[in-house]
Structure 1
Amino acid sequence: MAQAVTQQTNDDATIVGTWSSGSGAVTTGLQFYNPGNNTFNIPSVGGQSYSFTKDGFWEQALYIFTSDPTHPNCAQAQLIWQHGTFTQNSNGSLTLTPFEGDGRQLVQNGCTQQSQTLISYDQQEYMQGFYVRNDWHFGQGGIYLEMYEFDGTPKPWLWQTHNPPEMLPTQQLHKKIIGKVNGS
């Protein structure tokens, strides 16, 4: 159940770096998405990653599985990459604004006639709040980022994997395309 979030009062520099959930297999940058040939590098396991710069840019990499209760053997996988600018608002929330039409989403489903579809993607995100804290991770000290979605739902803890952040260029990389890309 979502809860009210107390905002962190630190400035946005506290979130600078690359942050990744779980094992760290999903990370932003060229390891996840290659804009040169418009392809994803599929990680070994699912997860989430966000990167933030001191000068207000962000990048997102998501590898998410969705189950189909009517067909348990037909899970759907989504790979999502997008980037843009972010603002830390006066109430401590974050507004993540993507470069329009620059992101990409690959949907894979082994139980449909067309097993994967690549489309352009941009979805603004609003994080109600965030915290940066220290804790133990895989037997050693680490820094994690805890963000709360628009409704207060916590996102998975994201562990800092790089500082400075590991990101693709912080500028528009694609021309805006309506619909599907690469004939998909």
Structure 2
Amino acid sequence: MTEPKRCRWAEGDPLMTAYHDAEWGVPVRDSRLLWEMLMLEGFQAGLSWSIILKRRESFRAAFANWDPAKVAAFGPADIERLMADPGIIRARTKIEAATGNAKAYLAFAERGEDFGAWAWELAGGAPVKGDGISLPAKTETSEAISRALKKRGFKFVGPVIVYAWMQAVGMVNDHAKDCFRRNAV
């Protein structure tokens, strides 16, 4: 049986292939999962996504299954615990950003807003299909969402991180023209 054509970045690493085939580019509307993926994209900054995928379960354990209320309550002792955890990316600024971002996320509900609906509205409401050839690092939309997130108190949400997040959660379909997932998501 012939392997289907995939985006080149997903070839050669079984974990990346599985992520590509099952998750990348599939529209996510669940607010909590959108927040989790945004946090993981922040931790990925400067690293490869395969590093994050390999540590994904360790991140979930370390960050209370990405429960925003629990993460928002993390104090100095929790920060030190996370800094000593070899299963995650031990970058203090990223860890502190995640705890602050949990508070920013919770502020949406306090205002009666849904984080997912807000993010998707800023992204245009429906997935945007890329040209299947180029993979931009950022777009005007990711720049606008980045600015809006920062206004809401989020950190580690620059336009490049936001664009990678938009691709991951299906706000943008950037599967290659010949990728079997391009028309499936």
After TM superposition, the score normalised by the length of structure 2 is 0.29
Bigger strand fraction? 1
Bigger relative contact order, structure 1 or 2 (CA pairs below 8 A, ≥6 apart): 2
After TM superposition, the score normalised by the length of structure 1 is 0.29
Bigger helix fraction? 2
